[in-house]
Structure 1
Amino acid sequence: MDKRELRKGSLLVIAGVAGVLVVLAVIGLVVVYTGGYNVAATEQHTSFTRWAFDTTLRNSVRNRASGTTAPEGATPEMIAAGGTEYKATCQHCHAGPGVERAEWASGMRPRPPHLAEVADEWKLEEVHWIAKHGIRLTGMPAFGPSHDDRTLWNIALFVKRLPAMTPEEYAATGEPASEGSSHGENAH
């Protein structure tokens, strides 16, 4: 095969790839402009959409949290403070040992995970990053603008302890927040 035939073959491959990309872009625009994708929270995501979102979420959090350094030496006071904040700001969506999520949170898509069941799947730094920055299109708010970093680390430390807690230990950890607490107006 001479150079001319090789160049012609390369141009055909490039043109084919470009053509496929144009067709995909047109399909994407048709879906966007016609409202072809059902955004109702009463419907489950398709398997592909769920996989794509979960994979993107995990990789994004892992990459962005990799530069975060956890504080040294968690104390019982830090964990108890995290428990108080968790019960005030997180429990209604993420539940707790022996406590179900609020009924309204069950209608969210994606459904908020029970953190007592999945906290082991995340590193402490990743839990902190999620609490601080939130996750778009999930209902998970960014608590960084309304909570200081120490409070967010306390919450993350508490979340990492959830899988090992019994319902009795969970009930005894932290106290319900008072009206004058730092998160009173910002609870979501």
Structure 2
Amino acid sequence: MRLIVSGIIGGVGLVAIVAVTGFVIVYTGAYNVAASDEHADFIRWAFSTTMHSSVERRADGIAAPESFSDDMIAAGASRYKAMCAHCHAGPGVERADWAEGMRPQPPHLIEAAAEWEAREIYWIVANGIKMSGMPAFAASHDPEELWSLVAFVDRLPGMTAEDYAGYPDPDESSQTR
């Protein structure tokens, strides 16, 4: 019985120490939130794991189209070039200089899009990601526009620079709101 009571007291003590440490870090400003400072490995892992798990869970009920037409992909390319490439780059195109200072660093979707299913990409584009600079586009774009963007992003992995350049540059007045 003493062993159980000692274990409970030890567990409660450990939780109290972790809570107090957390409050000290939060209220003293000990953690550097400057975007010029890289996240610590543990923080990067925690943010990334939380984000992936959250998106996977919330996108579970979204039904993606069976396939994407060439017209959808082309419309999505125009939107991507207008709204996304400055942060996420494109085949043969670097992200904007100012995006290099973002933390967390926006992923290069040429590689990162392969990690996501279309329904998950849709959820991210529609809802954004807190504390990452990724905006939520559902308030300003209808589902058809979002799905065309998803169609293009879904094709980015493996796309060549020539393929990317073959999509016309956007007429921003008609593609963004």
Same fold (TM over 0.5): yes
2:155 is the counterpart of 1:169: no
CA contact (8 A) 2:82 2:175 kept: no
Partner of 2:3: 9
Matches within 5 A, 1:104-119: 104-119=98-113
Q: What's the TM-score once normalised by structure 2's chain length?
A: 0.95
3-state SS of paired residue (1:164):
coil
Q: Summarize the alignment of residues 32-181 of structure 1 with structure 2, pairs less than 5 Å apart.
A: 32-179=26-173, 181=174
Question: For the residues of structure 2 that align with 1:182 and 1:170, how far apart are their CA atoms?
Answer: 17
2:166 and 2:138 mapped to 1: Cα distance? 27
Counterpart residue identity of residue 87, structure 1: K
Report the 3-state secondary structure (helix = DSSP H, G, I; strand = E; otherwise coil) of the residue aligned with 2:156.
helix
How far apart, in 2, do the equivalents of 1:53 and 1:175 lie? 34
Q: Which runs of 5+ in 2 are unaligned?
A: none
* Max Rg structure: 1
Deviation string 1:129-159 (CA, Å, 9 cap, x unpaired) is 1101111111001111111111111111100
SS at match of 2:145: helix
**Same amino acid, percent of matched pairs:** 53
Which deviates further from its counterpart, 164-173 or 152-161? Answer: 164-173
Q: CA RMSD in A?
A: 1.3
Amino acid aligned to 1:168: E
Q: Please, which runs of 5 or more residues in structure 1 have no aligned partner? A: 1-5
Q: Distance in 2 between matches of 1:92 and 1:120?
A: 20
Number of positions where the alignment pairs a residue of Structure 1 with one of Structure 2: 177
Q: 1:174 to 1:10 in 2, by over 3 A?
A: farther
Aligned residue for 2:133, secondary structure, equals: coil
For 2:176, the aligned partner's letter is H
C-alpha contact 1:85 1:177 (8 A) present in aligned 2? no
Q: TM-score, normalised by structure 1?
A: 0.90
Counterpart residue type for residue 106 of structure 1:
E
SS of corresponding position for 1:28: helix
Task: Say if 2:89 and 2:95, in contact at 8 Å, map to a contact too.
Answer: yes
Counterpart of 1:56, as a letter, is T
Secondary structure of the residue that 2:157 maps to in structure 1?
Answer: helix
Residues of 2 paired with 1:19 and 1:26: CA distance?
11
Q: Give every structure 1 segment of 4 or more consecutive aligned residues whose post-TM-superposition deviation is greater than 4 Å.
A: none
1:86 Cα shift?
A: 0.6
2:78–2:167 CA contact under 8 A, matched in 1:
yes
Q: Which amino acid aligns with 2:57?
A: N
